[in-house]
Structure 1
Amino acid sequence: MVSIGALARLAGTTTRTIRHYHAVGLLPEPSRLSNGYRDYDAHDAAQLLRVRRLVELGLSLPGVTAALGSHPTPGAGVRDALLALDADLAQQAETIGARRRQLADLLAREDLTTSEQVADLLRDLTTAAPGTGPDQLRRERDLLELLETSGGAEGFTGIADRYRAVLADPAAVDRIGAWAARFEALAGVAAADPVVTEVATELRMLGPELFPGPTGSPAEDGGHGETAWAAFLASLTPAQRRCVELAGQGWPTCAP
């Protein structure tokens, strides 16, 4: 007599697992003794070992059932299942390899959360304008990340090129720095304060290329650009938001 406990120990599993295999039809029920106990033989043990081996390789229980019982030629179903599993593992390995390369890139940089292109732009910003305050830097980072995600690599490359062109012009950097100080000060005023309109007028004079919003129509990007821009506006105080909305009226790069 081979009990279910002895069989479980042989296969390196548990009696609960074996009972589950019986319940789902993966392992046929063995004959029973007069006292009702299951009595396993060599075939039962070999079948369980086959099941365990396939499960440990990564096949699902339905996949094991199909592999062992659906093909008329013995072993052919298992071969097909293992070939499919191997292809899936190869795809996973490729995905993992790409993810590890991304991790290696992140770990090699100081900023461990942004993309390389955004990190480079922020580094260029702090070099060109070392007096940039933490609130403005955080806002720039948030906006750049949103634009990168919503516009895709090609669209964001254009934004990044304009961004670098501005940073390469010391006079432009000074103008933007002066405006940014006034914009940050709007955090403490009411949205209806006349100074909001004044700061918005200054921003409009600076031009949309210095404050890029989503480009293209919502149909072209699935509405991601508008969503990103709306999320950015929601992060501003009421006065700052009204300033940007007033300045952006009519700008092709900003949501209406």
Structure 2
Amino acid sequence: MIRHAVVTGAGLPVVRPFVFELLREQPKSLALCSDLTDLGKAHEVFQDFQQLQAPHTKLDFCSFSGSRECASLEAALSKRQGCLLFHGQTRRSQSLAQANPCDAVHRNLLLTRQVLQVVISTPTGPFVFLSSDLALQTHTVLGASLAAAEASVLEAAALLPGLPMTVVRFPRSLDPIQEEGLPIDRAWRQDSAAQAAVHAITANRQRVVLSWPDPLGSPQQTQSQPLAQAVHAPRQPLVDWLQAVSTPLQAYDNSVVSQTLLQLWRDPSA
């Protein structure tokens, strides 16, 4: 049973099905944190969620567009002791990540690490990171940045013994941000996959990676692997890599950041 929950990236299309499923759990409160810098998008998100029939749940909204607003996330968590934190605010487009590797690192790796720092410093309940099966494609900028974010979750797990932590590798075939290859019935499949994920998260509070062996065949059939087995550490400690590329990251030197990011996962014998 989920008593309280906080969701980042609540305005993203891929996150919305998870919000609906969390509401079905009838938590006492649900804080929806989204990028509200675009007023038009903010109004749309607000209208969508205000119309949800959730009489048992108190809905709150807060702006969360990046590291400068981690204080608002910390405040939302501190008000909800033992709440579930669902972190879904990531960059998921292959073409955008390839065009701007620095942005992918900022949105996927750095922001996730900053959210994990909030989790470490603020007592909370289960932590869920919405990743993608593209994290297995570490030869791409998007995959490498998501894999690094997953590795950061594994690092935090070592510092928080006993805290349930789940990485959800949502299928790219069901992710509306992908540019092509989406099934006609993807909306139903998205909802079914989100329902299966939330059920698994609430029923099995351990440290796992959830994935879908065949999302186009059965979106409700999930596969669970231990976090320590499914997530791999990069060739170089992330804290060392981030320190080494801090200047190129600040200068948005995409060439240097892209090259070194991919080297984190490259097999030296290849």
| TM-score calculated relative to the size of structure 2 | 0.22
Structure of greater relative contact order (alpha carbons < 8 Å, 6+ residues apart): 2
Q: Which has a greater percent of helix?
A: 1
Which has the higher Rg, Structure 1 or Structure 2? Answer: 1
| TM-score calculated relative to the size of structure 1 | 0.23
Q: Which has a greater percent of strand?
A: 2
